[in-house]
A and B are shown apart, each in its own frame.
Chain A
Amino acid sequence: MHEVKFIRPRSLADAVEIYRRTPGCRPLAGGTDLMVMLHARTLRPEPQVVLDLWSLAELKGVRRVEDMIEIGAAESYTGIIASPDVRQHLPALAAAARTIGAAQIQNRGTLGGNLANASPAGDTLPVLLAYDAVVVTDRRAIPIDRFFTGYRNTALQPDELITAVRLPLGRQVVFRKVGTRAAQAISKIVMAVSRGPARIAIGSVAEVPLRARRAEAALDRGDVEGAIAAVADDIRPIDDVRSTAAYRRMVTQNVLRELLLSVR
C-alpha cells in the first residue's frame, strides 16, 4: 500500500522550511479538495509528504492591518462568516462563504485552499478579484489579478506558501452564485461585481476565474448595456456536467444585469 507521510509543523517558520527542503511535499489545510484527490490518488505529481497547515495559529484569524482586512490562509469559512469585520466591511465575502458546501465544508474550507486549488469554480475567487485582494505568501504579496495563470495554475513558486489574504475596506461588492441547489452545489456560474472601481469577476465560465475586461471598460464609461453585451465576449464557457456554454453565456448576462442594478 502506497503511504503518503504526514508532517505537522510546529510553526509557520517550520512549515516554510520543511516545504522548501522536502521533495514531493503538498500543503494541506482543511482537506475539502485535497483529501478527496489524495484518497483517489489523482493528485499530480503524486505527493510523498503532506504538510499539515490546519493547526498553525499564525494562519488563523481575521485582523485589521492598516486600511486592509487580513484573513489567515487557514482560517475557516465559518470563522470568516462569524467575523464582525468581515460582516461589516466585506459582506460579499461573507455571502460567498455562506454558499460554500454546508456546515461540514464551511468548518474546514479556507481561502488559502480555494486560492491554491485555483479551481475555475472556486466560490470565493471572483469575490477576491472584485475586491482587488492581495495574496500574501511567505515571501511576497501577489495582486490577485496576476495570481491565476492557467487552468488550476497559479503564480506561486513550487515552494511558496500562502499565509494570508488582504482585502481593502470601503468597496461595495455584490455576489451571486447560480447552482443546482442552495447547498453543496458547485456553481454553473459565480460572479462578483463592484461599480467603483469597475470590477466584473466571474467563475465557471473559463479555465480560470476571470475579470471581464471589456465589460469593465464599458462600465467605466457608465455604459451598463454595453457592459452586459461585452461580457459575452469576455467569457469562454464550455459544456460540462454542470451546465452548457449557451446557458452560461445567457445567465452570465442576466446575473450581471441583476448585480449592476443592485449596486450604485
Chain B
Amino acid sequence: MRFTLNGRTVSLDVVGTRRLLDVLREDLGATGTKEGCGEGECGACSVLIDGEVVDSCLIAVGQVEGREVTTVEGLADGGRLTALQQAFIEHGAAQCGICTPGMLLAAHVLLRNSKRLSADAVREGLAGNLCRCTGYTKIIDAVLSCTK
C-alpha cells in the first residue's frame, strides 16, 4: 500500500488492520506521534489525514491508502519551526511533552481554519487533547498568541 507521509510517498507491505499509530512508530520510525490511552480519549496520537485531525490509534492503516498523513514531524519546514511551535516554546506550553505533538496538530488545524479565535474556541478545538500535567493555560495562551 501507499500513502503520503509528510509530503513523501511511502510504500509498505503491511496488514491493513494494523493501527496507523503502530505503523508510524514501528515501521516508519515516526515516533513523534505518541500513544496515550489507545482508545480515542486522550488525543496524544493525533495526526492529520488530508488535513483533518484524527486519533491514529483508531485508524486502520489500510484506510489511509492514497491519502496524505501529516505527523508532528511534518509541521516544521526543515529546521524552521512553525510560528505555533515557536509560540509553544516561548510560552512554556510543554511540560512532560507527551500531549505536545497532538496539541500542536489539533491547534494547527484550528489556526488554519480561522485566524481569529476566542479562548473558548481554542478550548473547544483542543477538547480532544488531554494534558495530564494540566498545563492547559500555557497551551491556550500559546495558540491564542498566533491569532493576533
Q: Could you tell me which A residues sit within 8 Å of B by CB distance?
A: 3-8, 28, 30-32, 35-36, 38-39, 50, 52, 54-55, 78, 101-105, 107-108, 182-184
Contacts and interface: CB of A to CB of B under 8 A. Distances in A.
B53 A36 contact: no
Interface string B48-88: 00001111011110110100000000000000000000000
Contacts of B54: 104, 107-108
A31 B109 CA distance: 21
Q: Pick the most buried of B65, B106, B127: most chain A CB atoms within 10 A of its CB.
A: B127
Given A36-B58, A50-B17, A102-B128, 9 more contacts: A5-B17, A6-B16, A6-B62, A50-B60, A102-B43, A103-B125, A104-B40, A104-B58, A183-B124
Nearest to A108: B54
Contact of B40 (A6, A36, A38, A183): A36
Contacts of B63: 8, 28, 31, 52, 54-55
Q: Pick the most buried of B38, B46, B58, B129: most chain A CB atoms within 10 A of its CB.
A: B58
Contact of A8 (B19, B55, B65, B126): B65
A182 B62 CA distance: 32
Interface of B: 15-17, 19, 38-41, 43, 46, 52-55, 57-60, 62-63, 65, 106, 109, 124-130
A8 B62 contact: yes
Q: Pick the most buried of B15, B54, B126: most chain A CB atoms within 10 A of its CB.
A: B54
B53 A104 contact: yes
23 contacts: A3-B15, A5-B16, A6-B16, A6-B62, A28-B60, A31-B58, A31-B63, A36-B39, A36-B40, A36-B58, A38-B17, A39-B19, A50-B16, A52-B63, A103-B127, A104-B40, A104-B43, A104-B46, A105-B40, A105-B128, A107-B53, A108-B59, A183-B124
B60 A35 contact: yes
A8 B2 CA distance: 14
A34 to B, nearest CB: 9
Contacts of B39: 36
Contacts of A78: 52
Contacts of B130: 184
Contacts of A102: 43, 124, 126-129
Given A8-B62, A50-B60, A184 B53 contact: no
Contacts of B58: 30-32, 35-36, 104, 108
A107 B52 contact: yes
Contacts of A39: 19, 38, 57
B99 to A, nearest CB: 13
Contacts of B65: 8
A104 B38 contact: no
Contact of A35 (B15, B19, B52, B106): B19
Given A3-B17, A103-B106, A32 B125 contact: no
A101 B40 contact: yes
Contact of A103 (B38, B57, B59, B109): B109
Given A35-B59, A104-B55, A108-B54, A182 B16 contact: no
